[in-house]
């Protein structure tokens, strides 16, 4: 292969071919317009398809999207067995593409489709069948599939919005963690056009829905010489049609989008935040008494900057006040409605109710709310007044809680830490004393018997080198294996222990997830007395979650369905077989507190084949 391999154009990629990030980094399409291979991220490299025939690389497809970042020493290999894998130094091979049919070659096509071929030159696998956030000309989004936004402009992992081509013929946009007509912030209005409707884009920028016999145009399309089109669901949750001239001085230009309302995407500002549109820009603000979970990340949501004492406030001399926001609304999930009220009455009612975190006041109705508050935004035409309860025991300043909120939170956490360490030290001391007692008792018993064989019975047997040579027939025969290993309760131990993978703090997250699901369901993680479908807790829980039958997990118990779903999603994320997919315990805490959105979790074992 020539030294300028990065610039070579491949019409056929043979088995055994490979790519590396810093040398031979991509395979080009015949015209050089598209490329498949490594592209640079701020913290490593990702693998995908990008437009290479223009000065700025424009990524249109990303592999292994749930964990897309790879180190600089990774190698992309089309194996002799026809699998496209990514090899890493730690020995983990990640599957990028494979087929049930034998694969003999691959190709990067000029339409942006990366394909694997079988021996009959038929496509055995193609990137067009698994779109990420972009649709190219000639590509279709079939019924039942989504385009999902990226996490950020520099992070191609799954974001928080999706464009869904539904099986009822409807094209709609939702937050990723939820669906249902009431949560669609864009809808094509094409329900009833058939169950085989797909979204399509042609080379002239015509975006249309097609059911096999008739089409519904979303755009008019326009031929432009030496121009490429693409549709992308952007980080802000709006899907747009773009075009760009192939001339070097060209730029990406928006041709069409279904809305100009930048605050339309539900959840753009995260939990307990609200969106304000200023001209053509959407800005995110936190509610009074809240700070951003991740400074600099507007979609991370907001958390209280004080400790909410709830119904213990009166006992601890904690006081609150109500701060009002005009024209600010959020999803109305109230737990109580008071009628024929004034704004002052509504504020007083929320202050006197230790369960009330906020209220929506409109037309004399006072609708009490609990956290988290979702999908907040300012709508100038909406007369609703939002009433937010905040702590007044100590003064608050924007982003800082002087002497109260965060300091109280830190003091409480410090107290918990001190108590935990003290208990741990006490337990260790008791364990040490017990060990000494047991040891002395054990040795004492042996002192009462003859010394013959005592060393063999009490201590470890030491062997000389000649003895080892003789016992192993000059080290040709294996006598046994080491007796060291892990100990843990069945059903609680993370999979990486058994797979001899690197062990990290994520093993504790796995165990926590199992315990959480046990508490919710009131049963053991493994119960052989149950039917095969229910014996393994994590499988039973995920199947119930996937089929929308969470109620059967709690039997006849009356529970808040939204809270149940939230806890189940947290549990499923914690027990993912792939450690990198599990959240940190800090993130778990934020999820439990309702301060961050929880995306739909994949099957806990869906990535097991990649190891």
- Per-residue model confidence (pLDDT) at position 262: 94
Average pLDDT, the chain: 83
H-type alpha helices, 94-166? none
pLDDT band at residue 409, thresholds of 50, 70 and 90? Answer: very low
Q: Measured between alpha carbons, how far is 610 from 63 in angstroms, rounded to an integer?
A: 13
Q: Which among 325-334, 408-417, 423-432, 547-556 has the top mean pLDDT?
A: 325-334
Q: Measured between alpha carbons, how far is 390 from 347 in angstroms, rounded to an integer?
A: 12
The pLDDT > 90 percentage for the chain reads: 48
Domain residue ranges in the chain: 9-129, 134-256, 273-403, 407-462, 495-610
CATH code assigned to 134-256? 2.90.10.10
- Per-residue model confidence (pLDDT) at position 429: 59
- Per-residue model confidence (pLDDT) at position 290: 94
More confident call, 395 vs 376: 376
Q: Judge whether residue 139 has pLDDT over 70.
A: yes
Q: Measured between alpha carbons, how far is 566 from 169 in angstroms, rounded to an integer?
A: 29
Q: Judge whether residue 197 has pLDDT over 90.
A: yes
Of 427, 446, 447, 424, nearest to 435 by C-alpha is: 427
User: Around 157, how many Cα atoms within 13 Å sit in the side-chain half-sphere?
Assistant: 13
Cβ-proximal residues to 250 (8 Å cutoff; 6+ apart), any chain: 54, 244
- Per-residue model confidence (pLDDT) at position 202: 96
- On the question of a common fold for 9-129 and 134-256, the answer reads yes
CATH code assigned to 495-610? 1.10.510.10
Q: Measured between alpha carbons, how far is 602 from 604 in angstroms, rounded to an integer?
A: 6
* 3-state SS string for 422-482: HHHHHHHHHHHHHHHHHHHHHHHHHHCCCCCCHHHHHCCCCCCHHHHHHHCCCCCCCCCCC
pLDDT band at residue 488, thresholds of 50, 70 and 90? Answer: low
Per the CB < 8 A criterion, the answer to whether 156 and 86 are in contact is no
Q: pTM (2 decimals)?
A: 0.65
Of 207, 202, 206, 205, nearest to 245 by C-alpha is: 205
- Per-residue model confidence (pLDDT) at position 487: 55
Give the number of other Cβ atoms within 10 Å of residue 84's Cβ: 24
pLDDT band at residue 419, thresholds of 50, 70 and 90? Answer: low
Q: Which CATH architecture has domain 9-129?
A: Orthogonal Prism (2.90)
Q: Among all chains, which residue has been given the structure tokens 């704004």? A: 343
Instruction: Tell me the per-residue pLDDT of 31-54, one tens digit each, with 9 for 90 and over.
Output: 999 999 999 998 889 999 999 999
Here the tokens at position 231 are 């549709």
Instruction: Tell me the per-residue pLDDT of 148-176, one tens digit each, with 9 for 90 and over.
Output: 999 999 999 999 999 999 999 999 999 98
Per the CB < 8 A criterion, the answer to whether 417 and 411 are in contact is no
Instruction: Tell me the per-residue pLDDT of 338-368, one tens digit each, with 9 for 90 and over.
Output: 999 999 999 999 999 988 999 999 999 999 9
């Amino acid at each position: 292969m020539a030294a300028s391999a990065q610039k070579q154009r491949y019409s056929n990629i043979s088995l055994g071919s490979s790519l590396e990030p810093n040398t031979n980094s991509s395979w080009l399409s015949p015209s050089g317009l598209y490329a498949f291979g490594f592209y640079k991220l701020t913290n490593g490299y990702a693998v995908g398809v990008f437009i290479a025939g223009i000065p700025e690389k424009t990524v249109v497809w990303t592999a292994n999207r749930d964990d897309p970042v790879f180190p600089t020493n990774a190698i992309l290999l089309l194996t002799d067995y026809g699998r496209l894998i990514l090899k890493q130094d730690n020995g983990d091979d990640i599957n990028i593409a494979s087929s049930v049919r034998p694969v003999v070659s691959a190709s990067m096509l000029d339409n942006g489709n990366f394909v694997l071929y079988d021996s009959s030159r038929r496509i055995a696998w193609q990137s067009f069948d698994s779109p990420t956030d972009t649709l190219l000309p000639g590509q279709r989004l079939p019924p039942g599939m989504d385009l999902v936004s990226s996490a950020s402009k520099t992070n191609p992992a799954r974001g928080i919005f999706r464009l869904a081509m539904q099986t009822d013929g409807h094209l709609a946009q939702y937050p990723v963690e939820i669906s249902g007509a009431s949560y669609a912030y864009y809808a094509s209005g094409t329900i009833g056009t058939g169950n085989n409707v797909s979204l399509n884009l042609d080379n002239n920028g015509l975006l249309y829905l097609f059911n096999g016999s008739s089409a519904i145009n979303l755009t008019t399309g326009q031929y432009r010489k030496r121009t490429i089109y693409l549709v992308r669901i952007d980080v802000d949750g709006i899907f747009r049609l773009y075009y760009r001239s192939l001339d070097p001085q060209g730029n990406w230009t928006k041709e069409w989008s279904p809305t100009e309302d930048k605050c339309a995407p539900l959840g753009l500002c995260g939990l307990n935040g609200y969106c304000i549109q200023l001209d053509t820009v959407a800005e995110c603000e936190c509610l009074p008494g809240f700070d951003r979970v991740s400074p600099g990340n507007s979609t991370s949501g907001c958390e209280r900057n004080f400790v909410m004492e709830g119904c213990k406030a009166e006992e601890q001399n904690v006081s609150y006040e109500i701060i009002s926001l005009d024209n600010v609304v959020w999803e109305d999930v109230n737990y109580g409605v008071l009628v024929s009220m004034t704004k002052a009455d509504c504020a007083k009612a929320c202050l006197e109710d230790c369960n009330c975190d906020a209220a929506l006041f409109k037309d004399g109705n006072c609708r009490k709310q609990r956290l988290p508050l979702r999908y907040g935004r300012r709508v100038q035409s909406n007369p609703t007044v939002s009433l937010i309860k905040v702590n007044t025991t100590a003064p608050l300043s924007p982003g800082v809680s002087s002497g109260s909120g965060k300091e109280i939170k830190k003091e409480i956490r410090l107290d918990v830490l001190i108590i935990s360490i003290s208990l741990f030290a006490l337990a260790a001391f008791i364990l040490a004393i017990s060990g000494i007692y047991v040891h002395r008792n054990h040795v004492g018993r042996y002192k009462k018997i003859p010394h013959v064989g005592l060393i063999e019975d009490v201590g470890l047997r030491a062997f000389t080198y000649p003895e080892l040579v003789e016992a192993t027939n000059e080290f040709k025969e294996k006598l046994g294996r080491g007796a060291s290993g892990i100990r843990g309760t069945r059903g609680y131990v993370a999979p990486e222990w058994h797979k001899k993978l690197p062990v990290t703090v994520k093993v504790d997250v796995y165990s926590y997830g199992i315990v959480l699901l046990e508490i919710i369901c009131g049963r053991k993680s493994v119960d052989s007395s149950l039917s095969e479908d229910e014996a393994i807790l994590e499988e039973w829980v995920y199947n119930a979650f996937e089929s929308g039958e969470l109620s059967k997990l709690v039997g006849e118990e009356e529970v808040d369905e939204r809270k149940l779903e939230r806890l189940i999603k947290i549990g499923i994320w914690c027990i993912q077989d792939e450690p990198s997919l599990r959240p940190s315990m800090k993130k778990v805490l934020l999820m439990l507190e309702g301060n961050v959105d929880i995306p739909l979790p994949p099957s806990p074992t869906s990535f097991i084949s990649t190891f």
